[in-house]
Amino acid sequence: MPRDPRSPSSEHPFLIDVRDARAALPQGLAPMRPRQAAWAFNSSEYLFELKWDGLRALASRDDGVVRVHDRNGGDLLPLLPELAKLPVPEGAVLDGEIVVCDSRGRPSYDLLAGRLGPKAAKRGFGPTFVAFDLLYVDHRPLLARPLDERRRRLADLELRGRTIGVPGHLDCDGEPFLDVVAEYGLEGIVAKRRASPYVAGARTSDWLKCHVTPRADVVLGGLEEVETSGTLRALCGQYADDEQHSLVMVGEAYVPSYLSRWLDDATRTFASDVSPFATPLPLRSGTRWLRPKLVAIVEHAGEVGVLRDARFMALRLDGRLSDCRIEEPVEIESEPPSPDSDRPRLVLLQSLRLDQG
């Protein structure tokens, strides 16, 4: 039988199996991102993790140098110098999220934003790098490996400490897990297909996010001061899935009074004379248009493409305009839950005790 020329052999020592070849760590790797699920679900094909209310980041160590960058490639160590000594193994790349927790151990985006703001208010506990995926180990890529294997190899690294931790995950039971997460006042959960590879920079249905209260990333297109009440409303847009990628106004979000002056001041340099939205809108008294450069997080009543009962939460620190899209949620048929009713709560509590592994 003739020898397969693709197989390494002593006769052809220059041929190697490139699937496990050592590789230089990439510098421009972008995180894989979840799509929106239509509802929470149970499925034996998925595992379920807590959705962390923090800043997505990749951490690596190459030739002894630790790097931590956000999903846009920005260096986070000047802003969070506490993470310069992260115990990342040599030749590894970790995907995760940077969080700051409140006194009850719950991650808080507001507390994290305070750390990164101009006054650097160091309130809360952290920062902590929550590692939930392993992309490279010993300088070898794991991107094509299934999630189950990547998670298992991540657990084998036994990463524990003041600045790093690996959260638990729940098999199959997304619905009861989201119920428990809601009890603790947390953001939501993420469902990940167990057999899925890691597709850097992609937003795919292999990962699905389920919020306790629906959230959306929107483009901040303007502010409107309501003279009768003195309140501020944010005019929110998302990009349509058309040839022009038009910025469509999807609604108004109430701005809490304690954020009104801050948001008004923070957006002054983005003022514009014209509306950024594709469709004509009436210029009402108290309206100030903004250049479409800022991404905001809003909570809303849950409809696609329409913001009802919306509330401004924060400006997204690493916001990308391309993420502000009108997108139909992914529907997954739900299986019956497992009989172990205590398991979701145990996984949640273990996840929040990161320093204890």
In angstroms, the CA 223 to CA 327 distance is 24
Q: CA torsion 296→301→307→308, rounded to 10°?
A: -130
Q: Which pair of tokens denotes residue 170?
A: 């729940």
Residues 6+ apart with CB under 8 A from 88: 59, 60, 61, 66, 94, 164
Q: How many residues does the chain have?
A: 357
DSSP state of 182: H
Where do the DSSP E strands lie in the chain? Answer: 33-36, 42-51, 55-62, 65-70, 93-101, 125-137, 140-141, 164-165, 170-173, 188-193, 203-211, 215-226, 231-239, 247-255, 271-272, 287-290, 295-299, 310-315
C-alpha angle 182-187-191 in degrees, rounded to nearest 5: 90
For the annotated catalytic residues, the residue numbers are 51
In angstroms, the CA 272 to CA 133 distance is 42
